[in-house]
Amino acid sequence: MSGMGGGERFHALDAVRGGVLILGVFFHGILSFLPGTQVWLVMDSARSVELSVLFFTLHIFRMTVFFVLAGFFGRLLLERLGVGGFVLNRAKRIAQPLAMFWPIVLTAFIATLIWAAVQANGGVAPEGPPPPPLTAETFPFLHLWFLYVLLIFYVVALVVRAFVHLIDRRGVLRARLVDPVVRLLSGWAAPVLLAIPAAAALYFTPGWMLWFGIPTPDTGIVPNSTSMVIYGFAFGFGWLLNRQPELLQGWGERWGAYVGPAIGATIGCLMMTSLTPVFTASAQDFTMATQDLRTLGYAALYAFACWAWTIAIIGFAVRHLSGHSPARRYLADASYWIYIVHLPILIALQTLIAPYPGPWFVKYPAMLVVAFIIMLASYQWLVRYSWIGAILNGKREKPVRQAKSGQQLAAAE
């Protein structure tokens, strides 16, 4: 991707985009350690309030950051390739992986789920009702939902772009109205102004479970409207932000000013709900939204925390991670594969360690270490230089072959 100053990559944004995908492993790994009732397929013998707080915090910003960057890079790619090239590229990088890996991931997910149930039932398959029929409402995208939602956003972006170009052929409206609004939204008051759509969407969500924040659109052909409004706004803002990428330098200069408010808003949300997930009907005041001032205040605080974290994280990267780093670049490349395959691997490891005694601060890191060894090894040996890697990240030659090509070129010259 072309950089802000010329031909350089956006190294900082690459690092953040890969980082938030990798954080998905940490996020889903926590599920078996959450205190309280059965909230996940496998529940560990060790539970942790500390991990519960981390889970809550990660969910506030992780996918909002991702969709801001997805919009930013989406427009950058469109400007570089044109509409036809953009459509072909997104079909190969997004639609094809979704079509290829969703059946494999779902099969692995079901197989691991059955195995976990058998293990928990003393080696005997438990009896239970059959799974619900596969319908448009129950279609399980699992953790690959973000690919499906991205495709929707790309289609909407192309349609809106065509309409705007039709009514604003010379770009006057964009230059005199859209760009100044984006500059305003990106300024010092950004976390407040950008939070307004998210706060409204959360407040008007029927039966909103406050502790779990933005509802995940992982089920159903038609994603839930709340997540589409919040993530769609983030995607659209990132798309328009790409028209003026120099605005990111302002975030880089001010990132530290948003860290304290982000932490404070997160603590405030936890104080208004609970340090741990709340599901029971007796805690209805904390669990189900009742469209009152308390709910409005919580929605506003949660949305503010979401955007304060987003700006602080992207700004920090712009300020401190703009240089090239082979390690960060490698992890950014590997993050797509890691996110696709991580969930069945985590469930299998959670099932293996769940019965054994031990504190969470030993079991959780150990599980992550083993998971990352498996995922990084599979990426290096099976994906990086293979046809799978060519689909996910583009074709890449092995270093030895690159060195030989360079020697041959030098000899020819």
Give the pLDDT of residue 141. Answer: 95
Max Cα-Cα span within the chain: 79
Residue in the block written with tokens 């605080």: 301
DSSP at 219: B
CA distance 237 to 219: 25
**Sequence-distant (≥ 6) Cβ neighbours of residue 192 within 8 angstroms:** 304
Give the pLDDT of residue 9. Answer: 67
**Sequence-distant (≥ 6) Cβ neighbours of residue 106 within 8 angstroms:** 140, 142
Give the pLDDT of residue 409. Answer: 47
Closest CA to 59 of 272, 295, 270: 270
Helix axes of 49-90 and 11-30: crossing angle, nearest 10 degrees: 130
The per-residue b/e assignment along 62-88, b for 16 or more CB within 10 angstroms, e otherwise, is bbbbbbbbbbbbbbbbbeeeeeeebbe
**Sequence-distant (≥ 6) Cβ neighbours of residue 366 within 8 angstroms:** 353
Please list the pLDDT of the chain residue by residue as tens digits (413 residues): 333 433 446 899 999 999 999 999 999 999 999 998 878 888 998 999 999 999 999 999 999 999 999 999 999 999 999 999 999 999 999 999 999 999 999 999 889 888 887 877 777 777 767 777 788 888 999 999 999 999 999 999 999 999 999 998 888 988 999 999 999 999 999 999 999 999 999 999 988 999 999 999 999 999 999 999 999 999 999 999 999 999 999 999 999 999 999 999 999 999 999 999 976 333 344 444 455 888 999 999 999 999 999 999 999 999 999 988 999 999 999 999 999 999 999 999 999 999 899 999 999 999 999 999 999 999 999 999 999 999 999 888 887 655 454 455 445 45
- At residue 288, the 3 state secondary structure works out as strand
Give the pLDDT of residue 401. Answer: 55
Give the pLDDT of residue 119. Answer: 77
